[in-house]
């Protein structure tokens, strides 16, 4: 290869490199323009049957804290948007992402309530599947068991349950979830004046003295036998109180 041909190849390579560089700059600017926020779409997981959080609530919070239409968002900007939604106590998790058409999608996962509490302070709140407390809303009331009686723990929202009573109720309801029959039959759990757990079923008029949160499955087995081998024969309303707190015993009061 002579010197002239070599110089031509070098110059052509340089021109190709400069052209490629300019092309990349133009494409970057074009992509950046295309990735500016053109609209906001809110996707709330209402499929799980909960309606605590509304689209308008999320949009109002975003518009209050951010001016993002027509702007380009970085990863940190998206994180800030996600974090801002944590002020809604009914939100468990939020994800924000921008597609190549300029749509900012905000996906919201709501807290899933396990039971609702009515405490001695006159407060009402929910406890979710992770043991986190969150307040009720005017938007929606979940159909879950209620906890009543001598429960003194306050609704310090977005905090985990601390007191013995709520921990016992939480443990019991978690077990009831795995028992299709009693999960559907038990509508209320009460802490009585002796700090014992009482179950109020949705059928019959009896109060079931459960005691503490120990040996839950064994107690439920005794309750199964008593309800469907005894009460089914003598009548559902035969007894006012059914006590299953003692081992291998069912004590009843007419």
Q: What does the pLDDT look like over 57-78, one tens digit per residue?
A: 999 999 999 998 988 888 899 9
Decide if 100 is inside a domain: yes
Other CB atoms within a 10 A radius of the CB of residue 112 amount to 17
Same domain? 127 vs 245: yes
Q: Is residue 24 part of a domain?
A: no
Decide the pairing of beta strands 103-110 and 113-118. unpaired
> For residues 129 and 119, is the Cβ–Cβ distance under 8 A?
no
- Its sign, for the CA torsion 90, 192, 207, 248, is positive
Residue 19 pLDDT > 60? no
Domain match, 74 and 158 both? no
pLDDT of residue 251: 82
Question: With 70 as the cut, is the pLDDT of residue 29 above it?
Answer: no
- Where among 50, 75, 110 does a domain terminate? 110
Whether the predicted pLDDT of 253 surpasses 90: no
Q: Which has more pLDDT, 233 or 3?
A: 233
Helix ranges restricted to H, the chain: 3-34, 55-65, 75-84, 164-176, 180-185, 216-225, 232-234
Residues 84-100 have pLDDT tens digits of: 999 999 999 999 998 88
Name the helix (H) or strand (E) containing 34: helix 3-34
In the predicted structure, residue 208 carries a pLDDT above the cut 50: yes
Q: Are residues 118 and 105 in the same domain?
A: no
User: Which pLDDT value is given to residue 13?
Assistant: 60
**Is residue 174 located within the same domain as residue 55?**
no
Interval 154-203: pLDDT, tens: 999 889 999 999 999 999 999 999 888 888 889 999 999 999 999 998 87
State the angle between helix axes of 55-65 and 75-84 in degrees (0 to 180), rounded to the nearest 10.
120
Q: Which residue has the higher pLDDT, 15 or 209?
A: 209
105 and 117: one domain?
no
What percent of the chain clears pLDDT 70, i.e. is strictly above it? Answer: 86
Checking if the pLDDT of 28 tops 60, the result is no
Domain membership of residue 12 (yes or no) is no
Q: Does residue 120 share a domain with residue 104?
A: no
Q: Does residue 168 sit in the same domain as residue 242?
A: yes
Percent of the chain with pLDDT over 90: 57
Listed in sequence order, the residues at least 6 apart from 27 whose beta carbon sits closer than 8 Å to its beta carbon are none
In a domain, 23, yes or no: no
For 118-143, the pLDDT digits (tens) are 999 999 999 999 999 999 999 899 99
Query: How many Cα atoms occupy the beta-carbon half-sphere of 55 within 13 Å?
Result: 6
Structural domain containing residue 95: 39-110
Can you tell me the mean pLDDT for 21-28?
A: 46
**CATH number, domain at 131?**
3.40.50.11690
Residue range 19-40: average pLDDT? 57
**Cα–Cα distance measured from residue 110 to residue 57, given in angstroms and rounded to the nearest whole number:** 13
Q: Which two tokens stand for residue 33?
A: 């323009």
Same domain, 129 and 84: no
Based on the domain organization, do 121 and 194 belong to the same domain? yes
Mean pLDDT of the chain: 86
Separation CA 146–CA 115 (nearest Å): 6
SS3 105: strand
């Amino acid at each position: 290869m002579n010197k002239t041909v070599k110089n031509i190849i070098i110059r052509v390579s340089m021109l190709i490199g400069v052209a490629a560089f300019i092309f990349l700059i133009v494409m970057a600017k074009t992509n950046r323009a295309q990735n500016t926020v053109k609209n906001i779409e809110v996707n709330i997981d209402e499929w799980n049957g909960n309606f605590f959080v509304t689209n308008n609530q999320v949009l109002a919070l975003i518009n209050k804290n951010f001016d993002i239409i027509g702007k380009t968002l970085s990863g940190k900007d998206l994180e800030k948007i996600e974090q801002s939604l944590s002020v809604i106590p009914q939100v468990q998790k939020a994800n924000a992402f921008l597609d190549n058409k300029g749509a900012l999608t905000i996906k919201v996962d709501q807290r899933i309530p396990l039971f609702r509490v009515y405490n001695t302070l006159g407060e009402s709140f929910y406890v979710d599947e992770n043991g986190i407390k969150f307040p009720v809303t005017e938007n929606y009331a979940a159909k879950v068991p209620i906890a009543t009686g001598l429960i003194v723990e306050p609704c310090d929202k977005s905090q985990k349950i601390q007191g013995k009573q709520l921990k016992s109720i939480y443990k019991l309801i978690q077990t009831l979830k795995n028992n299709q029959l009693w999960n559907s039959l038990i509508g209320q759990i009460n802490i009585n004046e002796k700090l014992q757990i009482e179950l109020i079923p949705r059928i019959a008029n009896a109060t079931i003295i459960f005691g503490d949160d120990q040996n839950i499955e064994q107690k439920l087995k005794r309750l199964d036998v008593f309800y469907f081998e005894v009460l089914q024969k003598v009548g559902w309303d035969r007894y006012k109180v059914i006590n299953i707190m003692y081992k291998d015993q069912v004590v009843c009061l007419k």
